[in-house]
Amino acid sequence: MKHNLDNKRREIQQQAFNAWVESGYKGFVLAVTGIGKSWIIYDAIGIMNKDSKILLLSETHKRDDQLISEVALYNQLTGNNVSMDNVILETYQKMYKTRDEHYDLVIADEADFIGMSYKLFFDNNTYDKVLLLSATKSESVKYYEDEMDTHNFTTKGEILDNIAPTVFEYTVKSGLKDKVSRNLNIFIIEHELDDEHETVKSPFSDKLYTEHKVYGMYNSRIEYIRKLPRSKSSFFAKRKWENGRARFVYGLPSKIPRTKQLLSDLKGRSLVLGKSLDALYQITQYTVSSRNNDKLNKELIDNMKNGSINLLAADRMLTRGMNFKDLDNIVIISYNSTTHNLLQSIGRMRLKDEFSGNVYIFKTNGTREVDWFDKLLPVLKNYKIHNFNG
């Protein structure tokens, strides 16, 4: 297959790289998913000596093979001669307890993943150069030394800026303007809790009730705990029930037939994303998940890429790194309020000539999903938003 250099995308990559160099090799590159941040990584590795100690940190090892294989295309199209042979590929989870090591270059991919725990790597080791990359920077996220004391906290923005300040920013709006990001139609699926069919278990017993009734049980319990005297036990009890309520919304049974009907009506190739594996498996057997071994997950992804299947579902395992150039539709059946996850999700839909992509996203009225959706609106408003009447 013949590959051509995308001049505009390459121009953006080089602007980001040059900004990092001019900052003294210490900087955060904040750029929308789809511009090819891996090539900025190759640019940085390319200026290092062959015997340099280089560490590339990421959330998981899922992208390792892709990073290693794509460097050949990078070298072919740029005329450079970058090698990944001596680059240490590791995860934040594996490395954050490391102490007293020195690196010539540390690259942190998906740097928005760095919080109070993972920042320890940067506190306890030294490095000459550091490059952070991410599509988002969740600056307002708070970390409390004592979760009972809401007045003393550190923000993610403070943590990341202390490691490396933002030196380059390329937004969704810029990507759409420059036509390096795909135009999307966002269809909002207004959904309601089922108040007729008794299909879900009570959080207190195995007895079945309607979705509406069970959601009310969660709300009542949380409200009861909220009125208790403030203590660590009540604090953690409230969090436990709030998490349970969220998981309940992620896996609402009423979303499943509606999603299946939608998929049967859609044309082209579709990806379904959600936070409940049980729900995803009920929608399609072709689900990439932690329940599968690596061989099966790779087979599913390869079959989707080569056209053997036209439907794939996944939880968070696919929201980073895996791209489908001929994808027509993304259906998001559950999510939270984190814009980082949303951008990663819709970023799976790469450019396809002049065709717009379609993203269908559930919003279940009368639940916390409405609040989560509202927090995502600033990102969604970059695209064309429609109410879905199907």
At 13, is the pLDDT very low, low, confident or very high (cuts 50, 70, 90)? very high
At 2, is the pLDDT very low, low, confident or very high (cuts 50, 70, 90)? very low
Q: Which residue has the higher pLDDT, 100 or 68?
A: 100
At 347, is the pLDDT very low, low, confident or very high (cuts 50, 70, 90)? low
At 1, is the pLDDT very low, low, confident or very high (cuts 50, 70, 90)? very low
- Tokens representing residue 132 in the block: 């952070």
Distance CA 306, CA 326 (A): 10
Find out whether 358 and 332 touch, Cβ atoms under 8 Å: no
User: Could you report the per-residue pLDDT of 304-342, keeping only the tens digit for each?
Assistant: 988 899 999 988 655 555 667 688 999 999 988 776 666
User: Could you report the per-residue pLDDT of 129-162, keeping only the tens digit for each?
Assistant: 999 999 888 888 888 877 666 678 899 999 999 9
Find out whether 164 and 26 touch, Cβ atoms under 8 Å: yes
User: Could you report the per-residue pLDDT of 245-267, keeping only the tens digit for each?
Assistant: 999 999 999 999 999 999 999 99
pLDDT, residue 308, reads 94
User: Could you report the per-residue pLDDT of 24-43, keeping only the tens digit for each?
Assistant: 999 999 998 878 899 999 99
Burial of 314 per CB tally in 10 Å (0-12, 13-18, 19+): buried
| Beta-bridge partner residues of 288 | 314
pLDDT at 237 over 90: yes
Q: What is the average pLDDT across 192-217?
A: 97
- Tokens representing residue 275 in the block: 């936070």
Q: What is the average pLDDT across 116-122?
A: 95
Find out whether 350 and 323 touch, Cβ atoms under 8 Å: yes
Is 0.95 topped by the overall pTM? no
Q: What is the average pLDDT across 225-239?
A: 92
- DSSP alpha helices (H): ranges in the chain? 7-22, 37-46, 64-78, 92-95, 120-124, 156-163, 172-177, 211-226, 232-250, 255-265, 277-283, 294-306, 339-346, 368-380
pLDDT, residue 52, reads 96
pLDDT at 221 over 60: yes
Strands (E), 135-212: 142-144, 153-155, 166-170, 184-191, 200-201, 208-209
pLDDT at 173 over 50: yes
pLDDT, residue 88, reads 97
The one-letter amino acid code at 93 reads: Q
pLDDT, residue 186, reads 94
pLDDT, residue 359, reads 93
pLDDT, residue 330, reads 92
Distance CA 29, CA 26 (A): 10
Find out whether 275 and 316 touch, Cβ atoms under 8 Å: yes
